[in-house]
């Protein structure tokens, strides 16, 4: 089984992963992977959290992570993702890949004999969506009571994955961004098949009743040449204390990180009492472990 899109997981799969995470957290059972399991982490883009949480996670489960910066591989001389997937899977038990093009991870997975985990592509960030929904669930027990407002770049990878995960689990979501700036239509239409998701360009309307306010960078990895244009486009969608007045008074603030204080979020908010960002980031380790355990159960 591969996790290239969050849609590769059913609602029951997601709930199972959350259960495994909960048991790990409570230390209810001694858990490990098959002895000496290995995880290849093949990364084209930088990472602070995803890389470290998967490396720490597999080592805590009795295995080993092998980090591979793609620039140091034959990829830099044109080796295909098909061949790389085939080879890595003949050495390792799992592959986590962070790539630019989503089609490349599909090609890698089609040629891999072991599970491939999408550790972020231009289109999706499924492991982040799992972390986000798990974190939300530890504050709001019933997904039906959750209303997420995703503010800012509503067409980014994190928004794509989160809207699929949230709607599949029964949460409502609004996508709040600039006028004439649309979400990715494929993801939006898929999310609408699952449940309730709406687009707003009016902040007041989009945040009404939201009990989770979520944002991400205005300039994703690979978009650096458009940085100034994008910061200008999204500037009215900064998550600050004034914007939060439009949300439910109980609203909690989330951000996948890395944060750009003063751009998509203010320091006052990210370091303030409504922020659950650090708990969210910490949960990446728990979900990395739960996901590896879940995948190993699928193989048995």
Residues in contact with ligand NVA by the rule CB under 6 A: 120, 156-158, 216-217, 220-221, 256
Select from 42-50, 143-151, 160-168, 205-213 the region that touches ligand CP (CB under 6 A): 42-50
User: How many other C-beta atoms are found inside a 10 Å radius of the C-beta of residue 206?
Assistant: 24
- Determine if 287 is a binding residue for ligand CP (CB under 6 A): no
CB nearer to ligand CP: pick between 51 and 190: 51
- Find the binder of ligand CP among 2, 111, 118, 128 (CB under 6 A): 128
CA–CA distance, 119 with 52 (Å, rounded to integer): 12
- Find the binder of ligand CP among 148, 197, 207, 256 (CB under 6 A): 256
- Determine if 21 is a binding residue for ligand CP (CB under 6 A): no
DSSP string for residues in 69-106: EGGGSGGGGT--HHHHHHHHHHH-SEEEEE-S-HHHHH
Find which of ligand CP, ligand NVA, none residue 220 binds, CB within 5 to 8 Å per kind: ligand NVA
What is the token pair recorded at 114? 């072991």
Residues near 234 by Cβ (< 8 Å), separated by ≥ 6? 152, 153, 177, 178, 218, 264
Q: How far is the CB of 84 from ligand CP (least distance, A)?
A: 20
150 and 172 Cβ atoms separated by less than 8 Å: no
Using CB positions, name the residue nearest to ligand NVA.
Answer: 220
Find which of ligand NVA, ligand CP, none residue 48 binds, CB within 5 to 8 Å per kind: ligand CP
CA–CA distance, 143 with 131 (Å, rounded to integer): 14
Helix, strand or coil, per DSSP, at residue 199: strand
Select from 62-70, 177-185, 250-258, 266-274 the region that touches ligand CP (CB under 6 A): 250-258
- Find the binder of ligand CP among 2, 50, 137, 220 (CB under 6 A): 50
What is the token pair recorded at 218? 């205005």
- Determine if 275 is a binding residue for ligand CP (CB under 6 A): no
What is the token pair recorded at 184? 């990715």
Q: How far is the CB of 45 from ligand NVA (least distance, A)?
A: 7
CB nearer to ligand NVA: pick between 120 and 203: 120
3-state secondary structure 230-279: HHHHCHHHCECHHHHCCCCCCCEEEECCCCCECCCECHHHHCCCCECHHH
CA–CA distance, 39 with 249 (Å, rounded to integer): 43
Q: How far is the CB of 223 from ligand NVA (least distance, A)?
A: 8
Rg, C-alpha atoms of the chain:
19
CA–CA distance, 14 with 170 (Å, rounded to integer): 12
Select from 48-56, 81-89, 136-144, 166-174 the region that touches ligand CP (CB under 6 A): 48-56
Q: How far is the CB of 21 from ligand CP (least distance, A)?
A: 17
- Give the binding site for ligand CP (CB under 6 A): 47-50, 120, 128, 256-258
């Amino acid at each position: 089984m591969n996790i290239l899109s969050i849609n590769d997981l059913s609602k029951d799969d997601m709930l199972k992963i959350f259960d495994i995470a909960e048991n790990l957290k409570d230390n209810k059972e001694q858990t490990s992977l098959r002895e000496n399991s290995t995880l290849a982490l093949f990364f084209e883009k930088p990472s602070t959290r995803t890389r470290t949480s998967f490396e720490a996670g597999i080592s805590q489960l009795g295995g080993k992570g092998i980090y591979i910066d793609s620039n140091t591989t034959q990829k830099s001389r044109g080796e295909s993702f098909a061949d790389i997937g085939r080879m890595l899977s003949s050495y390792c038990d799992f592959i986590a890949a962070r790539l630019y093009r989503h089609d490349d991870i599909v090609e890698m997975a089609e040629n891999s004999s072991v599970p491939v985990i999408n550790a972020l592509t231009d289109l999706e960030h499924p492991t982040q969506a799992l972390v986000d929904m798990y974190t939300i669930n530890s504050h709001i027990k019933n997904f039906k009571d959750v209303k997420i407002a995703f503010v800012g770049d509503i067409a980014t990878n994190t928004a794509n994955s989160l809207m699929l995960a949230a709607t599949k689990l029964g949460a409502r979501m609004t996508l709040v961004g600039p006028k004439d700036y649309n979400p990715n239509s494929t993801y939006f239409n898929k999310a609408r098949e699952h449940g309730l998701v709406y687009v707003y360009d009016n902040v007041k309307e989009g945040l009404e009743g939201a009990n989770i306010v979520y944002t991400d960078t205005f300039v994703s990895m690979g978009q650096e040449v458009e940085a100034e244009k994008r910061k200008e486009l999204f500037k009215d969608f900064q998550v600050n204390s004034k914007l939060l007045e439009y949300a439910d008074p109980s609203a909690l603030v989330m951000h996948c990180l890395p944060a750009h204080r003063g751009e998509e979020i203010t320091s006052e908010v990210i370091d303030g009492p409504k922020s659950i960002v650090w708990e969210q980031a910490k949960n990446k380790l728990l979900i990395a472990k739960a996901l590896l355990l879940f995948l190993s159960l699928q193989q048995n």
